[in-house]
Structure 1
Amino acid sequence: MTVTTATLTPPALTPPHPVFPGRRVGGASLVVGPLLVLTGVLLRLRFDFFFPAQLSAYEQRPDLMRASYSLVAAGWVLLWPGVALLAARVGERHREPAVWGGVLTVLGLFARTFHAGVDHLAFQLVTVQGASSATRTASETYGAFHVFSTLNAAVMGGWVLLAVGAYRARVLGPLRATALALASAMPLGVLKGTTAWSIAAAAGLCVALVPLGVAAWRTGPAPRAATVGGRVLLVGVVGLAMVLLGRVG
């Protein structure tokens, strides 16, 4: 019996494409996530950056501000499969930057999701008590410690490490790697408005990641129309059920 290198290498450890999150899920994440973040950031561009102005803006334009913060929050959450896919691509050549960059970036996305929850609560205070009362409450509690404060370095540093790894692994060229690193400039914390750095960071995500997502969808065999239709139907049904369940509480 002839023993080859392929025989000794477990197939599950060296797939041509990561099974999880998968080429299509990860690719869709790389396209949709950055675009949502950029759109949400631009929607609140007209308002001052600091939280009193953000709360006042919500009182005056609740639908606009709700849309802005919801799009940004959804974009951060939906980015995690794309980050996992990008880290897997980097790991094919450079393991350490892939592991550390991927882990820290995902932890940073968790922290931003927590911040989005605080934003939501603050806006509900505006609805119930008015902007002045909500602003007073926010100012008195703004510096309160929470466990996700420990992830502030991950929020900023994860993108830089991932960008360095993507450049070293030749997944991204120098310009797009720099654009990805710009994501670290996105202001962190709660009730943050839009600055020039916010736009640069969100645009950098789009420049770096959207082409990767499109490329991921174009590689590999195309699924059958029946498979696509079935998956779209399943996602629609499950998504509707999750929305209804969420409304119940």
Structure 2
Amino acid sequence: MAIGGLFYGEDGAGVLGQFQRNEYSRYSRDIRRRRGRVFVLTGTASMFRPAALRAVADGRGTSIPGQPGDVYDTAALTEENELTIALKSLGALMISPSRCSVVTDVMPTWRALWNQRLRWQRGALENLGAYGLRPTTFRYWAQQLGVGYGVIALGGYIALIVITVLAVNSWVWFPFWMGLGVVFAVERVVTVWAGGWRARVLAALLLPELVFATFLDVVYLKGVADILFGRRAGWTHVAHPPAAQTTDDGIAAVSHR
């Protein structure tokens, strides 16, 4: 009923862009290992059968949330996530073939990334709240529990490191933990190997990606807090300059993303 793709980050945006490209590479690698089974249809480029969209419109307000007759739930902050859950709830078959790759934009600034990820995190949580606990959402609930555990684990790790540094007079090297750190570093490099040498170097350094992960954890906590306190959510946009493209006829076309 629908076909998605594996998305990768566009070039540019310096180290911040590389953080995002590494993140997307790991996600695409996970989907390939799942043999194309869809987790979320990418908003960058997905294709739907007309029958699938008609089924969603007919199911709105009854078997799935939303206004009757609407394909998209306009109250959802993350429309691709919501539409994926809607189709799964209706029993639709979807796939993200490994050979179908698409390129998405990366956020050029930390502020833009904050706004984007806040919308993603809050939108995903609100979609789960709207659909409740059902067989099609169980995996998504498990993912959110995993993210929450990751936030606690990383926060505890950072706190433990700070306490250790403040409590001891000299640094003590433990072979076991050093070996575990090497294994972790290898895993980070292997999972972005296809991204080229820049991706591998950044992953091997470990600390920069831990800082990036901490940033994403803070965004997650902000999204949870906004939901708990009923703060209003909204869309934000990043302006991109028009990109000139050349068609097969040699005519330059302008693309607005």
Q: TM-score over 0.5 for the alignment?
A: no
- Structure having the higher helix fraction is 1
Q: Which has the higher strand share?
A: 2
